[in-house]
Amino acid sequence: MMVGMATIIDRRKFVSGMAIAPFAARAWAKEKMSKEHLLFVGTQTTPGTSKGIYTYHWNSDTGELSEQALAAEVEMPTFLVLAPDKKHLYAANETEEFHGKKSGGVTAFAVNGAKLTPLNAVVAEGTGTCYVSTDHTGRSVFCANYNGGSASSFRIEDSGRLSEIVSHFQYQGHGPVADRQEAPHAHRVTPSPDNRYLYVNDLGLDCIHIYKLDAATAKLTPNDPSLWKSAPASGPRALRFHPNDKFAYCVDELDSSVQVLRWHASNGALELVQKLSLIPENYNGPTSTGCDIVITRDGLYAYAANRGLDCIDSFAVDPGTGKLTFLARTGSGGAVPRDLALDPSEKYLLVANQVGDTIAVFARDAKTGRLAENGKTFPISRPQCLVFA
């Protein structure tokens, strides 16, 4: 009798276990997926051996990149942006000739897992297209043409394809640095947090151009004020808004600095709050140029890249004032850090080292904001841009 009862209980456990198993399997799969992400990498195809856009599988538990694959063979896809719907990706083609014209371009792709399917490509009407972004609704795409000294906008069609140019602005003039500011050099295009404005960093003219944005049509019109003026010979390169939408952080390439700017949503104006050097005191090494900045989702820490010195500066952020406090300086894990990305868990900072031909991965202490002194490195030819799917 006892044996029979035990058998009944065991059967009940077995049946119960069988019922629970599918749910457990789904929960395990969901947990596994939450720890694994796809990373898209934009590269230089000249020089180097790269053929276009690559993907890696990323594990946020181990900080490992694996299964490198060519997602799309395309010329000079140096910067990428994933659309808000995550179904489309746009690449800046940093070329001097594109589709038979003296220009760079922008290529649209459909995202199919680790593969990208080309949809169409459009001429940017300016050479050296070095940056691409979308508005927050996913209806507009913008590009900065570094060599051409111009910026353009395009409408995103329902299919994800790009329209012909909607707005184009050609800049004129020069800055005080003869070999770097001989002409305008648009370097970044950044929509405001409320999607009403677009900001174009101009390294050549020491300013950030400001436009009003009609997101539905991708039309840009000059704002009032029409620009924010930086210090001469600073070379504003990168721009990133704080998660609280009150401040923006501008990395200057030529004088290797970061500027904290108060953002005025009422009229789109920018106002200087603080400026910090990214160069150590008494530095006498190779020429140093500021590059990029990222900010954690909680808005408490920021990380800025500096080339020549080849380092990452860590900062604590005061969300109330926007001001930065220097924490530490860490080697970038390779030569010429070009782009930074926090992984989705924010336990790691990834660095694309353009000339070092590596992606470096640094563990990050969420409580102190500090990075590990040494990171893991993964080889890839001429990485330029890191975008997590």
Is residue 221 pLDDT above 70, yes or no?
yes
pLDDT at residue 28 in the model: 41
CA distance 211 to 225: 9
pLDDT at residue 210 in the model: 99
Q: Residue 230 in contact with residue 236, Cβ under 8 Å?
A: yes
CA distance 122 to 44: 19
Is residue 127 pLDDT above 50, yes or no?
yes
Is residue 235 pLDDT above 60, yes or no?
yes
CA distance 205 to 180: 10
Q: Quick one: CA dihedral 120, 203, 84, 369, positive or negative?
A: positive
pLDDT at residue 35 in the model: 80
Domains of the chain, earliest start first? 36-73+332-389 (no CATH), 75-229 (2.130.10.10), 249-330 (no CATH)
175-206 pLDDT per residue, tens: 999 999 999 999 999 999 999 999 999 999 99
Nearest Cα neighbor of 234 from 149, 176, 302 is 176
CA distance 282 to 217: 50
339-356 pLDDT per residue, tens: 999 999 999 999 999 999
Is residue 47 pLDDT above 70, yes or no?
yes
Residue 207 pLDDT level (bands cut at 50, 70, 90): very high
**Buried (b) or exposed (e) across 250-264, using 16+ Cβ within 10 A?**
bbbbbbbbbbbbebe
Alpha helices, H only, 141-207? none
21-31 pLDDT per residue, tens: 444 445 444 44
Nearest Cα neighbor of 333 from 361, 305, 314 is 361
Omega within 30 of 0 (cis) for the link into 225: yes
CB < 8 Å & 24+ apart, contacts of 206-210: 206/175, 206/181, 206/230, 206/231, 206/232, 206/233, 206/234, 206/235, 206/236, 207/236, 208/236, 208/239, 208/250, 208/270, 209/151, 209/169, 209/171, 210/268, 210/269, 210/270
pLDDT at residue 17 in the model: 52
pLDDT at residue 34 in the model: 61
Is residue 15 pLDDT above 50, yes or no?
no
What number of helices (H) and strands (E) belong to the chain? 1, 28
CA distance 78 to 52: 9
> Considering the chain, what is the average pLDDT of its residues?
93
Is residue 230 pLDDT above 70, yes or no?
yes
CA distance 233 to 228: 14
Nearest Cα neighbor of 290 from 254, 340, 330, 328 is 254
pLDDT at residue 234 in the model: 98
Structure tokens that stand for 266 in this block: 């009422």
Is residue 33 pLDDT above 50, yes or no?
no
358-377 pLDDT per residue, tens: 999 999 999 999 999 999 99
Q: Is the pTM of this model over 0.75?
A: yes
CB < 8 Å & 24+ apart, contacts of 46-52: 46/76, 47/382, 48/357, 48/381, 48/382, 49/381, 50/380, 50/381, 50/382, 52/77
77-114 pLDDT per residue, tens: 999 999 999 999 999 999 999 999 999 999 999 999 99
pLDDT at residue 2 in the model: 41
pLDDT at residue 273 in the model: 98
Instruction: Report residue 176: phi and psi, to 5°.
Output: -80, -15
